[in-house]
Amino acid sequence: MDRFWIAPQGEIDFLILHPTLGALTLEVKAGIYEVQGSLFTLVHTGQRVDIAAQMRHNTHGLARWLGGAGIRWKIGYGWVFTDSSLANSHLPPAITDLSCDPTERIALDCSDMPNLGERIQQVMAHWKRALGNPDLGATRLQQIRDALWF
């Protein structure tokens, strides 16, 4: 009997799979954002977005969907603010992991663009440690790819 899975509602801009570092979902936010408590406001429109809730919903939805295909894996997440500087912002806990020392910022901003690949690898390494994941491995990586691109 064939099994069919319905994709969860939501959108993930990028899913990065690495055989050693694991899986990372990224949400890309273009434009200039300001932080207001736990919400981010797109300056030119005034639109307020709870980026943490959006990302958690989408990442956990992906994990549940993969679980339906028999693949159990804890997935890390992060944001890329291509045009914004977060340097002087008080970031909500969802954007900065305060449970480790030193703290780890899992949102990248315009200052990270010259070293984007390196910073993404740092975020992936952080999540691998924080989630206690072993290496993803070539076999599990292929299983995820097969489940997503059927």
pLDDT tens readout for residues 63-100: 998 998 899 999 999 999 999 998 877 887 778 777 67
State the burial class of residue 87 (Cβ atoms within 10 Å of its Cβ: 0-12, 13-18, 19+).
Answer: exposed
Residue 41 belongs to a domain: yes
Residue 71 belongs to a domain: yes
Verdict on whether the full-model pTM lies above 0.85: yes
Give the structural domain span for 69. Answer: 14-135
Residue 51 belongs to a domain: yes
Residue 149 belongs to a domain: no
Residue 47 belongs to a domain: yes
Residue 8 belongs to a domain: no
* Residue 96 β-bridge partners: 105
Residue 4 belongs to a domain: no
Torsional sign, CA 143, 147, 149, 150: positive
Residue 2 belongs to a domain: no
Total domain count, the chain:
1
pLDDT tens readout for residues 1-49: 344 444 445 689 999 999 999 999 999 999 999 988 888 999 999 999 8
